[in-house]
Amino acid sequence: MFRILMLFIAAILIAGLPTESLFAQAGASDFDVEQASRAYIDTLQGAELEKSNQYFQGGYWLILWAALVGILVDFLILQSRLSARFRDWAERVTSRKWLQPGLYTLPYVIAGFLLTLPWTIYTGFFRERQYGLISQNFGGWFGEQMIGLIISLVIFPLLIMAIFAVIRRAPKTWWIWGTGVISIFLFIGLLLGPVFIAPLFNDYEQMAKGPMRDQIVAMAAEYDIPADNIYVFDQSKQHKRISANVSGIGPTIRISLNDNLLERTDPAEVAAVMGHELGHYVLGHTWRAVLILALIVAVGLFIVARLSPRLVERHGEKWGIRSISDPAVIPLLSLILTVYFFAATPAINGMIRINESDADRFGLDSAREPDGFAKVAMRLSEYRKIEPGPVEEMLFFDHPSGATRVRMSMQWKAGHVKNPLMLNPGKLEKE
């Protein structure tokens, strides 16, 4: 569905194309990397380990079921001729061809929201509450879903109108121009999202002056990253996961830390996280993300452009679809895209994961806090399987696993710290 495409766009903003870097190979002969790594990895055991594994492994099936739910919803909208009715309504409201796809999108988005709502409630609220990973009550959570729906009702009509404009003007090559349209929307989202979208879900306040802010400013200054705007946002109202980001472009560039990061971790961990996030900016991952996303979308739209006319020719009369330029075709186009993105999931995960690994290396080099980095990896393993098999990690992980990250940090420690010490981190406190 087109809403799945937009969710993909939002998710991949934190990713990009990988670059390569290597650790120094020198190490201390009396520092055992594997033993130091196990000291951290083995802090997650028993019921907590089982809970983390069950949650993350259950997510493997959610990828499949989410795709099937999306396919089923679009098929129902087609088969019931709801799509044709939405189109007929848009034509009654206006005779302007350029505006009709945008009007069509309004009932289509609402219908998709309502039809998928039971699934969304289960995966987004009840399952998260089952594993203790959500702080909101149902009212607060559902309120944010409604905000997301309103945003969709603003963005999707504009996107669909632009795509159908190029379909009408270039019916043979519309997939090329459509890729350009989506790239433009992505650029606008990068520019405006941190200023206008993110504050709809959380309150952002300038980070208070102090040693931690001074350290972040110094780290950013080392790589000429604008650090005039450093914000703390109240994500603890939604969950207890730690996170931070460097977002925006040009005048909207800002560094943001969630309150969980400041409240649950020590300064070494904060520095490790910020080094990673600054790495995304310095290594140009956002712009590479735009490029790789454009290529991925281009392939998807090319497939859509080849398959959809044949399906319209065969089933169009039954579904009430007149042609590929008819807004009623939207569920068919998005159904094909859903299948495409599902099939491409391992490749997309791999690109993001390698990129995240590059940011990890940069963060270790800039923050020089290998033990802080290892602690953060363990905290993230509260909801990510700590030690998957190699094939499992390749297929399902869009970030390096906790074990991979801990070993990376200990390898860095062996190669860069003079006379590194073996630490017994003990059990991380439960917040």
- The answer to whether residue 318 is domain-embedded is yes
- The answer to whether residue 142 is domain-embedded is yes
Domain span including residue 162: 51-200+288-329
Q: Give residue 29's pLDDT.
A: 54
Q: Give residue 293's pLDDT.
A: 86
User: What is the distance of C-alpha 359 from the center of its chain?
Assistant: 16
Whether residue 185 contacts residue 159, with contact meaning beta carbons closer than 8 Å, is answered with yes
Rounded to an integer, what distance in angstroms lies between the CA atom of residue 124 and that of residue 90?
Answer: 32
Which of these, 382, 364, 383, lies nearest to 374 by C-alpha position?
Answer: 364
Rounded to an integer, what distance in angstroms lies between the CA atom of residue 328 and that of residue 83?
Answer: 5
* pLDDT single digits (tens) 262-296: 999 999 999 999 999 999 999 988 888 888 889 99
- The answer to whether residue 90 is domain-embedded is yes
Q: Give residue 431's pLDDT.
A: 45
- The answer to whether residue 311 is domain-embedded is yes
Q: Give residue 85's pLDDT.
A: 98
Q: At what angle do helices 330-343 and 46-79 cross, to 10 degrees?
A: 150
Q: Give residue 429's pLDDT.
A: 58
Question: CA 152, 155, 161, 162 torsion: positive or negative?
Answer: negative
Residues in the chain with pLDDT values less than 70: 1-29, 427-431
**Domain count across the chain:** 1
- The answer to whether residue 161 is domain-embedded is yes
Tokens of 46: 């028993």
Question: Could you tell me if residue 147 is left (phi over 0), alpha (psi between -120 and 50 degrees) or otherwise beta?
Answer: alpha
- The answer to whether residue 55 is domain-embedded is yes
- The answer to whether residue 74 is domain-embedded is yes
Rounded to an integer, what distance in angstroms lies between the CA atom of residue 92 and that of residue 386?
Answer: 56
Q: Give residue 17's pLDDT.
A: 35
